[in-house]
Structures are given as C-alpha cells and as structure tokens.
Amino acid sequence: MAKRSFLIPGVDKRLLIKDSLKTMPDVTRRRFIAGGASLGALTLLTGCDVIDSSSAENMLAQVSKFNDAVQAFIFNPDALAPTFPESAITKPFPFNAYYDLDDAPDVSAADWKLEVRGLVDNKKSWTLDELYKLPQVSQITRHICVEGWSAIGSWTGTPLRDFLKLIGADTRAKYVWFQCADKDGYNSPLDMRTALHPQTQMTFKYAGDILPRAYGFPMKIRVPTKLGFKNPKYVVSMEVTNDYKGGYWEDQGYNSFSGS
C-alpha cells in the first residue's frame, strides 16, 4: 500500500495534491508537476492555507475555479505575489530552520560583511552600515513553507535588483547563489529572473524593527514568489554565476524552481 502523509490532522497531503491535479487545466497541471507539485505551491496559487479538512475542501474548490490570475502567476515569473493589510499579519511569526532557535547563528553586526563574488564589476564586501544606507521599501506578503504552514509578515529592505545593478552584476548570468552563516551550512540558488523580480528583497527589518536573530539577522533574502526554503536567512555571501551550485533543500530533492 502506498505511504500516506497526515501532517495536517484529517488531511492526507498526497491525496489532496492528487485531487487538485485532477481538476487542473492540462497545461497548468504540467507546469505544476514540473514545479514540484507541493502543498506549498498549491497554497501559493490558491491563497488557501490548509490547516484542517474543511480548509482542504476549500482549497480544492479554489483549484477547480483556477482563473486567469492563477494562470498568469503560474506562467509568468514576473507576476506579483499578493500583498496584505497590516491587520492580516500573523503574530507571532513562526521561526523555522533545520535546527532549534538556540542553535541559530548569532551574528556579530560589527564583524559581519556581505561578500560579493562572481560575475560582478565590483566585488567589494559590504558592511551593515553601508547596506543600511541604501534605499529601502516594505512589503506585507505571505511566506509559505513546504512543511505545511504559511504566515503573513512585514519585511523591509533593499530590492535585490537595485543592489545587483549597483554592483554591476551581469544580469545575463543564470543564478545568484546565497550562502548563510548556519553552523552546518545553508545555501540556495535563485534564478536570475526571480533575483530581478521587483518584490525580491535584501531584508534588514521585520515589522519595522531590525531583523531579529530568529528571522535571519543581519540579512535575509525575501522572495515572496517562492517557497520558504528559497528565502535564505543569515546570508554571508552572494555569487552571481552560470553554474548550478545546488542548495541545502534543493540537494534533498526539493525543486529549485519551487514557487511560481
């Protein structure tokens, strides 16, 4: 018998995905499968958070109504992720990593520098003070984790595309690859198209305050068009490259395109 997965009480994740696939238009289904066919991706596309069997039913109803907006999002990597009012923010916002909060990197602001490598004109490292001087914008967007939860948060920082322009990055390169300060390493490649997406952000603040340790101090990359694992925290370096260098979860089978 096939293995069942009951991460959410009363909801068989595998069956939910299977049922969703049945109701999807053909081309959407193909794209959805190519993108990893995860519950997270369904959450991203339907806007429904599955926490019990009735919200699972609701998600299925949404999939059967898949409309032009969903089509646009699934086929257009430049489509914008939905934004929300302040009243929708999830409090407290969850912490998540492959370890407990006590083991999260405790980065010293004075010693930290963002290293820039690869296909860029200017490979200078950036101190936090220098980065804080760059123009910043805010977004209230939904973070969706493949493990089956989502939460809405408020993030402030510099659009990554502005920074890439500033350092003279070769935007014809395929990836921007991020490395993090986690004790056993964490990294993730981002396709250039998504790196240049207007909502992709070098994030320095959460809810208007300096990014707390839990959420990636001093800098995380916020990518609201991708699943949570493609939002690296505690970033220490970025490399503009044509080589696919893999990533922490990508190497364990999660689709690198995960998201849109």
Ligand X SMILES: Nc1nc2c(c(=O)[nH]1)N[C@H]1C(S)=C(S)[C@@H](COP(=O)(O)O)O[C@H]1N2
Residue ranges that bind ligand X, judged by CB under 6 A: 94-98, 145, 180, 182, 186, 214-215, 228-229, 231-234
- The radius of gyration of the chain from alpha carbons, rounded to an integer in Å, stands at 18
Element (H, E) at 30: helix 26-34
Number of residues assigned to the chain? 260
The interface partner of residue 244, options being ligand X, Mo ion, none and the CB cut-off 5 to 8 Å by kind, is: none
Using CB under 5 A, which residues numbered 130 to 169 contact Mo ion? Answer: 145
- Taking the least distance from each CB to ligand X, the nearer of 53 and 138 is 138
- Taking the least distance from each CB to ligand X, the nearer of 108 and 122 is 108
Element (H, E) at 193: helix 192-195
- Taking the least distance from each CB to ligand X, the nearer of 52 and 103 is 103
Smallest distance, Mo ion to C-beta of residue 61, A? 26
- Comparing every residue's Cβ against ligand X, the nearest one is 228
Which DSSP string corresponds to 69-102?
HHHHHHH-TTPPPPB--GGG--SSPPP--SS-GG
Stretch in the footprint of Mo ion (CB under 5 A) among 24-32, 116-124, 159-167, 226-234: 226-234
Name the one residue in this structure whose structure tokens are 């208007």. Answer: 208
Smallest distance, ligand X to C-beta of residue 11, A? 19
The interface partner of residue 232, options being ligand X, Mo ion, none and the CB cut-off 5 to 8 Å by kind, is: ligand X
Smallest distance, Mo ion to C-beta of residue 163, A? 24
Query: Could you give the CA distance from residue 31 to residue 37 in angstroms, rounded to a whole number?
Result: 9
Q: Is the dihedral of CA 77, 78, 84, 86 positive or negative?
A: positive
Smallest distance, ligand X to C-beta of residue 144, A? 8
Query: Could you give the CA distance from residue 59 to residue 62 in angstroms, rounded to a whole number?
Result: 5
Query: Could you give the CA distance from residue 174 to residue 194 in angstroms, rounded to a whole number?
Result: 10
User: Which of 136, 193, 190 is closest to 163 using CA atoms?
Assistant: 136
- Taking the least distance from each CB to ligand X, the nearer of 180 and 190 is 180
Smallest distance, Mo ion to C-beta of residue 96, A? 5
The interface partner of residue 215, options being ligand X, Mo ion, none and the CB cut-off 5 to 8 Å by kind, is: ligand X
b (16+ CB within 10 A) / e for 177-194: bbbbbbeeebbbbbbbeb
- Taking the least distance from each CB to Mo ion, the nearer of 118 and 153 is 153
- Taking the least distance from each CB to ligand X, the nearer of 177 and 229 is 229
Query: Could you give the CA distance from residue 193 to residue 171 in angstroms, rounded to a whole number?
Result: 9
Is position 249 an interface residue for Mo ion (rule: CB under 5 A)? Answer: no
The interface partner of residue 180, options being ligand X, Mo ion, none and the CB cut-off 5 to 8 Å by kind, is: ligand X
- Taking the least distance from each CB to Mo ion, the nearer of 73 and 149 is 149
The residues that touch Mo ion, with contacts defined as CB under 5 A, are 145, 228-229
